Amino acid sequence: MSNTTDTTDTTGATRAEQAGAGWWVRNSRALLGLALPLVLTNFAYVALTTVDIVMLGRLGALEIAAAGLAIALFNQLRTTGTGLVTGVSNLVAEARVRDDKARIGALLFAGFFWATVCGVVFCAALLLIGPLLVLLGQDPKVVDKAGEFLVVLAPGMLPCLWFQNLRHFTTGLKRPGPLLAITLASVGATIGLNHALIYGKFGLPEFGFVGVAIATVTVFLLSFLAFVAVILRDGVLRPYLTSLHAWRWNGDAVRSVWRLGLPISGTYASEAGFFSVLTLVIGSLGVEALAAQTVLNQIVYIVFMISAGLSHAASIHISEADGRNDYVTARRTGLLATAWGVITTLVVAVVYLVIPEPIVSLFVSAEHADNADVIALTVTGLLIAALMQVFDATQNIGNGILRGIGDTAGPFKISLVGYWLIGLPSGYLLGVTADWGVEGVWIGQTIGLAATATILLTAFLRRAERLRRETSGAPAPEPESS
């Protein structure tokens, strides 16, 4: 039997106090207090692509489908590259504790190295992928138009990943800077540039839907330069960016970032790839289906940002409990975060069920006659998404809470089973083989997310219980000073 007399949780409560409802209230406040700023920053970031989709929705089904396909492919690779530099924050934090300034500078260089390598490789892949998309059953007209979009958008991968490296670098130093302010400014710039470049305002040429790509790349570059300017004005951060260590090859730092970032990148890529492949399956069903998928993905992605913030906050709290060998608190925190994820997505689901048409009309203009089928399909998809996003939130939080107790490889392996062995075959069988169309693909996607969420949550509970048993005979840790 474990010693429970004087162990404390993240709020300083004793284990005996945890048995009551007070623990859930206190820790809900702590969890949501940490998650809220993360969610707000996530919302601001996703607003960038939301603005793009809304502007494209005013142009027509072909434009939505083509740009949506291009953005989906770009985001697939962007997510993979971001995962590779995510570990920079953890490594920098470790070096900061040791006051190893040379190591911190070397890690900054290593992050830029991998961001640049990924940016160049991914840019080339996006420019060359057109013929492969046609072989995979995509409409040649959509592929050609998506190619026009990608010629402009693809180079934006470099400043986008450089920005992500700086974000994780400054987070590791616990000086993230005005990320929310920069992102909000980026949203304003995106709105203004989209309007000017699509329609040719303020003396600029009228670029049409390609103007969205020009605006996006411009905002990526301006955001990165703004972040650099912030660092150069910060007396603590500036020495790291200007030191010789930040611009000198360090093989150990480069390898460290690779080793830690690779499993994270694999998990991100597996999840994003699952949605990208399903988008390709839907693209084979027609232009209207692909346009509806583009809009539905964006709506669900906005809500997904809530669970992303909860997942990160829960991971941090669970890591603290893991450091104290307090796996009862870790387990309960995981369940608490999952519960809040389910609650928030159910609230949003009610809105989907009550007013689906007005929600879709925010993204797709009814003024174009050829948008009628797109609107109808998206409304149907939104009803399916009411359930799908509950499982999506649960699996996202499941990834975070497993990482919180030290399991980084597990989420990747589980994603291969849930997404690729269950979700993808289900989507193809229901959508294509059974001829249920795009609705069948969406149902199959929901099945895959439900399976992934179930396996992740089960794995977390089993690992937490195993760790509790392994450490139950150890002396209780000293309470943390407040």
User: Per-residue pLDDT for 288 more than 80?
Assistant: yes
Cα distances (angstroms) measured from residue 443 to each of 175, 420, 447: 43, 15, 6
Cα distances (angstroms) measured from residue 83 to each of 40, 115, 200, 273, 316: 20, 10, 37, 13, 17
Residues 428, 324: Cα–Cα separation, whole Å: 46
> Which residue has 């010629």 as its token pair?
151
Contact 11, 27 (CB under 8 A): yes
Q: How far is CA 123 from the centre of its chain?
A: 20
**pLDDT confidence bin for 473, thresholds 50/70/90:** low
Burial 300-330 (b: 16+ CB within 10 A, else e): bbbbbbbbbbbbbbbbbbbebbbebbbbbbb
Question: What's the pTM?
Answer: 0.73
User: Per-residue pLDDT for 342 more than 50?
Assistant: yes
pLDDT in tens, 190-239: 888 988 888 888 888 888 888 989 999 999 999 999 999 988 988 888 88
The one-character DSSP state at 417 is I
> Which residue has 């597996």 as its token pair?
270
Tell me the mean pLDDT in the region 420-442: 93
For residue 8, the cross-strand partners are: 14
Quote the percentage of the chain above a pLDDT of 70: 91
Calculate helix-pair angle for 287-323, 251-283, nearest 10 degrees: 140
- What's at 237, amino acid-wise? L
Pick 93 or 265 by higher pLDDT.
265
Mean pLDDT taken over the chain: 84
pLDDT in tens, 76-117: 899 899 989 987 876 787 787 678 888 999 999 999 999 999
Contact 297, 285 (CB under 8 A): no
Coil/strand/helix, residue 202: coil
**pLDDT confidence bin for 45, thresholds 50/70/90:** confident
* H/E segment holding residue 226: helix 210-232
pLDDT attached to residue 11: 44
**pLDDT confidence bin for 368, thresholds 50/70/90:** low
Contact 333, 22 (CB under 8 A): no
Tell me the mean pLDDT in the region 187-191: 85
For residue 14, the cross-strand partners are: 8
Cα distances (angstroms) measured from residue 328 to each of 8, 399, 465, 472: 10, 19, 8, 10
Cα distances (angstroms) measured from residue 337 to each of 216, 277, 279, 343, 454: 34, 29, 29, 10, 15
On the 0-12 / 13-18 / 19+ scale of CB atoms within 10 A, 350 is exposed
User: Per-residue pLDDT for 1 more than 50?
Assistant: no
Cα distances (angstroms) measured from residue 381 to each of 28, 147, 292, 298: 32, 27, 8, 12
Contact 156, 221 (CB under 8 A): yes
- What's at 480, amino acid-wise? E
Residues 39, 32: Cα–Cα separation, whole Å: 10
Residue ranges covered by each domain of the chain? 1-44+285-482, 57-262
| Cβ contacts of 235 within 8 Å, gap of 6 or more | none
| Cβ contacts of 109 within 8 Å, gap of 6 or more | 245, 246, 247, 248, 249, 250, 253, 254
- What's at 274, amino acid-wise? F
- What's at 174, amino acid-wise? K
Calculate helix-pair angle for 251-283, 61-97, nearest 10 degrees: 160
> Which residue has 């990526």 as its token pair?
220
Q: What is the DSSP string of 335-354?
A: HHHHHHHHHHHHHHHHHHHH
Quote the percentage of the chain above a pLDDT of 90: 36
